[in-house]
Amino acid sequence: MNPRGERVVNHAILAVFAVIAVFPMIGVVTQALRLPGLDLSSFETAWRDGHFATYLRNSLIVTTVTVVVAAVLSIMAGYALGAMRFRGAPALFLLFLAGLTIPTEAVVVPLYFDLRSMGLDNTYAGLILPQVAMSVAFGTFWMRAYFRSVPPSLLEAARIDGASSWTTLWRVLVPIGRPAILTMLLLTTMWTWNEFLLPLVIINSDEGLRTAPLGLSFFQGTHKTDYSLLMAGALIIAAPIVIVYVFLQRQFIAGMLSGAIKE
Amino acid sequence: MTTAARHEGPGSRREAPDARAARRPGGRNGGRPPGEARGIGWLYVLPALLVYGGFLLWPLVRGAQFSLYHWDGLGTATWAGVSNYTSTWSDPALRGAFGHLLVLVVFYSVLPCCIAFVLVGAMSRTKIRGLAFFRTVLFLPQVIAMVAVAVAWRWVYSADGPVNTVLGGLHALGLPDWRRGWLGDFTFALPAVGVVGTWVGIGLALVLFLAGVQKIPRELYEAARIDGAGPVREFIAVTLPALRRELAVALTLTTIMAIRNFDLIYMATEGGPGNATKVPAYEVYNRTFNTGEVGLGCAIGVTLAVLAFAVTAGIGRLVEGRDA
C-alpha cells in the first residue's frame, strides 16, 4: 500500500474506535435530552425526584476536603522522601508504594465495622478519612518523583540563602511544581468523585449524605428501566469530571499513564 | 503503577556532596539547612503516615484478622483458621466467581491489549494527524464514573436498545432472531459484562501504544525496510520490542481493573442471573452484608489484595527481566 493510502486507512481505524468509544455516551445524551427535540423534562424529574442537588453537594464537599487535605499531606511526605535523606526513608517509601495496589474491596469491610464502632459511619469524616489515605498513597509516590527531579543546585541555593526546609518547600518548590501538583489534584479528584463502594457501605442509612454515584444507584433502584430518566441522572453525575477532563486531558492522560514513560 | 517506581527520574544523581559540608565537623548533613534537626524528614512524613496507616494499612491488617474467624457481624466470632480461605475454592459458588474473574481478565485485559497492539502496529509507519483529538476521545471511558458507564450499557443491552435493534433489523432481512435480554441471559451475561470492560480498556491501551510508537526513531523502520522487511517482520522486529514497557503498563492497569470490578457488577447484574456474573469483588460485599459471612468476605478481600499486588509486581518483573 502506498503511504497515502496507508494514512487514510490509519485515520479510518482511529475514527472507528473513536466512534465506538463515544457511542454509549451519545446514547446517554440523546436519551437524557430526548433528542431530537430537546426536552429537558427528564432532567427536571431526575433533579426533583432524584435529589441530585443534595448528592452533588455532598460529592463536592467530600471531594474538595479529601483532595486538599491529601495534597498537603502528599506534598510534605513527598518532599521528605524525595529531597531529604534520613534513616528509614527507603522503607517508608516502600510502605507508601504498597498502598498503591490495595483495592477498596480489601479494606471496605473492616472499615465499615471499625468506623461504626467509632461512630463515624454515616458521617463526612468516615467517608473522607479512608479516601485521604488512598489518595496519600498515590500522592506521596507522585510528589516524591517530582521532588527527586528538582535540580540539587536549587536546593543548595535556597539553603545558602538561609531558607528553612519549610520555606524552601512552600516558597520555592511548590510554585515551580505546579504541573505535577495539578495532575495529582486532577487524578485524586476523579477517583474520589467516582468512588462508589466506600460510600455504599459507609453511608448506609443517612440519605442526606449520599454522594452522586451512590445517589445514581438508588435512583436506578426506583426507575429500573426508565432509561431517559436514568441517563439524565448518569449525565448529571458524570458531567463535572468529563468537563474538567476535556479542558485538561493532557494532564489526566499523562498522570494515568505515568508508569509508561521512561525518562 | 509501580513500574514507575523503578525508573529513576533525572534528579536521582544526588551523590555529589557539597565540599564545604563534607569538611564541616559532623560530616554530611543529608541536605538539611543548618540548624535543622536530624529527624526533620520524619516530621514531614508523619501526618501522611498517620492517616495512611490508620485508614488503609490498619484496615488491611484488621481484614486479615477478621478473615481468620467465622462471624455473622452481630454475635460472637468463632476461630476459623484458614477455612475461610479454603472455602474460596471448595465452595462452588466462590470457585465459580474466581473462574468468572479469569474470563473477565481475558475481556478486560488480554483482548483490549491485543486489539490495540495490532492496530497500532498497523499504524506505526505513518504520522497520525489529530492525535491529540483521538487521544482525548479514546481515553474518555476511563474518566467516566463506572456507575454511569453501567447505566449507559444497561441501555445498550436493553430490550429495545441499539444491540437488539440492529439484530432485529438483521432478523427482518431473514437471519435468525438473535435478540435477547443480554444481561439477564445465563450464557451471555458474563461476556456482555466483559465487553464493557473491553470497551473501557481498549482506549487506554490504544493511547499508551500510540504514545510509545510516536517515540520509536523513524530510522529503525527505514533500516528494517532497507533490509527488505515486510510489515509483519517490521512489527515483530521493531514495534514489539520498543513497546514492551507500554504493554506491561497496559496489561497491569487493565488487569487491576478486572480485579476491582465491584461497581459495574453491582449496577448492571448484581451477580445474576443466578450466579452467572458473580465475581470476587462483588462477593466481598455480598458475603459480608447479604449472607452474614463477614470472615469469608474479608478472606476474599485479602485474596484480591494479594492478587492485585502479585499482578503489579509480576508483570513489571516479567518485562524488566527480559532484555530488549
Distance of alpha carbon A254 from alpha carbon B1, whole angstroms: 12
pLDDT for the residue numbered A254? 84
Q: How far is A38 from chain B (nearest CA, A)?
A: 19
What is the DSSP annotation of B130-171? THHHHHHHHHHHHHS-HHHHHHHHHHHTSTTSHHHHHHHHHH
Residue B219: the pLDDT is: 87
Q: What is the DSSP string of B252-264?
A: HHHHHHHHS-HHH
- pTM, whole model, 2 decimals? 0.90
Smallest CA–CA distance, residue A191 to chain B, in Å, is 9
C-alpha to C-alpha distance for B271 and B291, rounded to whole angstroms: 14
Q: Which chain A residue's Cα is nearest to B73? A: A113
Per-window interface: A 161-220 vs B, CB < 8 A: 162-165, 168, 190, 193-194, 196-197, 200-201, 212-213, 216-217, 220
pLDDT of B297 reads 97
Instruction: Name the residue in chain A with its Cα closest to that of B260.
Output: A103
Nearest to B58 by CA among A133, A67, A127, A76: A133
SS3 assignment, position B79: strand
pLDDT tens figures, A21-61: 999 988 888 888 887 777 888 888 989 988 999 999 999 99
Name the residue in chain B with its Cα closest to that of A20: B199
User: Distance between CA B28 and CA B36 in Å, rounded?
Assistant: 13
Could you say which residues from 47 to 106 on chain A have a Cβ atom under 8 Å away from some Cβ of chain B? Answer: 73-74, 76-77, 79-86, 88-89, 92, 95-106
Q: Is A31 on the interface with B (CB under 8 A)?
A: yes
Subunit contact B9:A28, Cβ cutoff 8 A: no
- Whole-number Å distance between alpha carbons of A181 and A195: 21
Which of these, B37, B235, B224, lies nearest to B120 by C-alpha position?
Answer: B235
CA–CA distance, B244 with B247 (Å, rounded to integer): 5
- Between A75-79, A155-159, B287-291, the lowest mean confidence (pLDDT) is in A155-159
Interval A1-24 mean pLDDT: 85
pLDDT at B27: 38
Contact A51, A211 (CB under 8 A): no
Residue B161 and residue B278 in contact, taking contact as beta carbons nearer than 8 Å: no
Q: Would the pLDDT of A15 be above 70?
A: yes
What is the rounded distance in angstroms from the CA atom of residue B9 to the CA atom of residue A253? 19
Average pLDDT, 10 consecutive residues per value, chain B (324 residues) = 40 41 42 68 96 97 97 94 93 96 97 91 76 90 95 93 93 92 95 97 91 85 85 84 88 94 96 95 97 96 96 80 48
Least Cα separation, residue B245 to chain A (angstroms)? 6
In sequence order, the 6+-apart residues with CB closer than 8 A to the CB of B198 are B107, B108, B111, B112, B115
A-to-B residue pairs, Cβ atoms closer than 8 angstroms: 353
Residue A84 C-alpha cell reads as: 531529604
Mean pLDDT confidence for A114-140:
96
User: Are A196 and B266 in contact (CB < 8 Å)?
Assistant: yes
Q: Supply the pLDDT for residue B228.
A: 85
Q: Domain ranges for chain B, please list them.
A: 103-292+305-323
Q: Say whether domain B103-292+305-323 belongs to CATH 3.50.50.60.
A: no
Contacts of B301 in chain A (CB under 8 A): 103, 105-109
Across the interface, do A21 and B298 touch by the CB < 8 Å criterion? no
How many other CB atoms are found less than 10 A from the CB of residue B172? 9
A215: which 3 cell numbers? 445517589
Of A146, A143, A217, nearest to B148 by C-alpha is A217
